[in-house]
Structure formats: structure tokens, C-alpha cells
Chain A
Amino acid sequence: GQSLEQPSEVTAVEGAIVQINCTYQTSGFYGLSWYQQHDGGAPTFLSYNALDGLEETGRFSSFLSRSDSYGYLLLQELQMKDSASYFCAEPTGGGNKLTFGTGTQLKVEL
């Protein structure tokens, strides 16, 4: 089966860097996506890693290590608006659907 584990909560100060980890246990692994969801809002796509290494998109970067069954989302220069829940997700069911992780609530403080 598939399962993706994340820390439930992370707190950091404005301007800092924070890393949100995701570990997975699955067969037929395609890659790892990351989504952001503000309270009461829709999940929005941030990034996808199909290959090992780092993908950078502005202040956000995502990393994957297939050998370690591990990935992370790195947020730099944290802003108050980054306070949200972050989910890792992987394509499953032959790549036709997404299975989401447990989610990490990020709180950015002054």
C-alpha cells in the first residue's frame, strides 16, 4: 500500500528558512508533488519531483531522494502569508490519482 508521513506542525519566524519532510513507502513510485492549502481554501499545486535532486521555484524548492524514499519542501525568506498546511502527494493507481500525505501545518511568527 501507500503511505506518506509528514510532521504535523512546524513553527518558524518570518524571514527564516523551514524544511518540511515527507517519507513514503510505496511500490511503483512515480514522483512527489507538493500542495499548499490555506485555511478554508483550495489545495494549490507547488511543485513536482520525478527525478532525484532539487527543483527551485522562487522562494520554494523541493527535493527528492528515491534511494531514501524521502523528499522535502524548503521555504526560504518566510512570510506571514506562508502560514498554511502543506501536503506531499504521490501519483498512484497507475499514475491516475493522487494519494496525499498527512499534512504539515506551518505557522510563521513575527
Chain B
Amino acid sequence: EAGVVQSPRYKIIEKKQPVAFWCNPISGHNTLYWYRQNLGQGPELLIRYENEEAVDDSQLPKDRFSAERLKGVDSTLKIQPAELGDSAVYLCASRRRAGTVTYEQYFGPGTRLTVT
């Protein structure tokens, strides 16, 4: 089974520019997560999707961040405009279904964003 796919792997942009990250979860996984991981820290949840519905976006900075998961499969996370403090690794993860306690999630390799 193919793992979680993310692209691009690396992105360097100037501040105030827009940027988008793409994630394709494992086939059949209904739940999708976007995390941000700052250097030397653990991943922090930005948004959780159950199928196409964003059910937890309380940690998403909505003034500049947006996300979508059309058709409940692929997802895109966007930042507009980017700020210097947005430099981090953006991780996507998925799991098979809701309704059970999540302790095992499958992560993609992440997109390393550098804002200059």
C-alpha cells in the first residue's frame, strides 16, 4: 500500500508570497490531518478532516491559512500571505476511520517551507 504523499518536499518563498501544499492520503483513509512542526519541536495540529468536512480547525490561523479537501481524498493547505514565522515543516497524516481513539497515524514526509 502506498503511503501518504506530499508535494512539494521543499519550498522557498519570499514573505508576503502565497504558497500551497498538497497531500494525498492512504487510500481508504477517511481522516486527514495537517500539522506544523517547528524546528526541534513536536508536530502541532492545524486542522482535521473527516472525509470532506473540516471538523477541527481551532488551531488554524484563519487570517492567512486555508485548507480544502474536495471529494474527501486529496487535500491542499494554503498560506497567503506567508510570514517569516511560517517557516516550518508541514506534515500531512491520515488514518482509516473516525469513531475510535486515534493513537496511530500515518504521516507523509512533509513539506519544508522556508520564508525569506
Measured CB to CB, the residues of A under 8 A from B are: 8, 30-31, 33, 40-45, 48, 50, 87, 89, 91, 93, 95-103, 105
Contact = CB atoms under 8 A, between A and B. Distances in A.
Contact of A42 (B44, B55, B109, B112): B109
B45 interface: yes
Interface string B69-110: 000000000000000000000010100001011111111111
Interface of B: 3-4, 33, 40-45, 48, 55-56, 91, 93, 98, 100-110, 112
Contacts, number: 67
A96 B107 contact: no
Contact of A87 (B42, B55, B101): B42
A101 B41 CA distance: 8
A87 B54 CA distance: 26
A13 B41 CA distance: 24
A21 B44 CA distance: 20
Contact of B103 (A40, A44, A98, A100): A98
Contacts of B106: 45
A92 to B, nearest CB: 9
A42 B103 contact: no
Contact of B101 (A30, A100, A101): A30
Contact of A100 (B43, B55, B102): B43
Contacts of A97: 33, 45, 48, 56, 102
A101 B33 CA distance: 17
Contacts of A48: 103-104
Contacts of B41: 102-103
Nearest to B112: A40
B106 to A, nearest CB: 8
Closest 9 CB pairs of A and B: A100-B42, A95-B101, A42-B107, A48-B103, A33-B103, A45-B104, A43-B107, A91-B101, A42-B109
A42 B108 contact: yes
Contacts of B107: 42-44
Nearest to B45: A97
Given A42-B4, A42-B110, A44-B107, A103 B42 contact: yes
